[in-house]
Amino acid sequence: MATDTAMAAPPTDEYWERIYRWGPWVLLAVGTILSLASANLLMTPAERVSALVLVGAAVCWERWWWRRDKDAVYFTGRTVLAFVLTWLNPFFAFYAFIGYFDAERLLPERWMRVGLLSTAVTMAGSQSGGLPPSGLTMWIAFGALFVINSSIVMMMLRISAREETLTQERIDAIAELERTNHRLEQALSENEALHAQLVLRAREAGIDDERRRLAAEIHDTLAQGLTGIVTQLQAAQNTVDPVVAGGHVERAAALARRSLSEARRSVQNLLPQALEHGTLDEVLGRVVKMWEADSGVAAVFTVTGTVEPLHDDIGATLLRITEEALANVSRHAGAGRVGVTVSYMEDEVSVDVRDDGCGFDPSAGSVRGFGLRGMQSRAARVAGEVTVESERGAGTAVSVRVPLVRVGAAE
């Protein structure tokens, strides 16, 4: 019910419009009635006639401005009529009283105080017993009442100005809040779009990273395994000794089985099978021996420092890079001797693969193919780095260094 009543009530501005429109009429009527009732006591016959004429003039003045936009001319004419009527009978001050309400609305700012003080003069004259005051006592009373009326008017004017300022500040604050909310909504909308883009890019980056991982794993398992199988089968085909040929075929079959197993595990992103049953140095020792047997190149494996169990990702990275480096020696170096060294240091672990093969010139752009790029990419994923040193006729050295992350340290 309270809500319905509030919604049905007209706005405050509409109330004031009614006061501005009907107030002068009502107050003129009240002043006229009270003046008629007191005419015999306060007015001479000539003053009564003058008052009737002036009341008629006031009615005509109000009627003239009824359908027009009231302004300073209207306020001035009404104030003069009210002053003269109050001079004839103090009760006509009711008609002047409306000036307190609409002076601020009808007068320019520089004349507003003049209009209010003029109204205060009329009201003080009525309150002191009529204009002009008779005797010193009445003049003193008139002056005191004028000061009181003026003070009240000026105080109310300051209060009104302050209220207007506060109201304007509230309006400005609300407008600024609306603008801020609008900007916030825009920012939220942009953030949602940006978040969607970031999610999409992260998904695409994840897909690309997975593709690169699978490509590297396939290269390190299937490609190397197939290369070894082809080498063993060619060796079997080129020998006339059935026993030797059978050995090559058996090694080819073993390579095929191991490559198939590693390929399956790579697709499932599992730890290389060899690392599940030994430390990195043990696994690399076996890898070097198998490579020596398959390639026919003498290989020496060395471990320095205190051996420590490594985190799975670190061990897998070093194993794959070493396997790729050895595969490159088999394919390109034409080496007669290879050395593989695993070094455990205080805060990092490294693997160095050195050969005495033909070498190449790194600055001449000879470092091509997926192998070396794959090594560098693998090392970068675990914050490591791969360096390649080589010179034509002086062999090649591949060194990979990664942080020493122990088992459980990254969990």
Enter the pTM of the model. Answer: 0.42
28 or 272: whose pLDDT is higher?
A: 28
pLDDT of residue 218: 62
Q: Above 50 in pLDDT, residue 9? A: no
pLDDT tens digits, 324-373: 888 888 878 788 889 999 998 888 899 999 998 888 877 665 455 556 77
pLDDT of residue 1: 41
State mean pLDDT over 59-88.
91
Mean confidence (pLDDT) of the chain: 80
pLDDT tens digits, 184-231: 888 888 887 787 677 557 556 645 665 665 666 666 566 667 777 777
Q: How far apart are the first and last CA of the chain?
A: 65
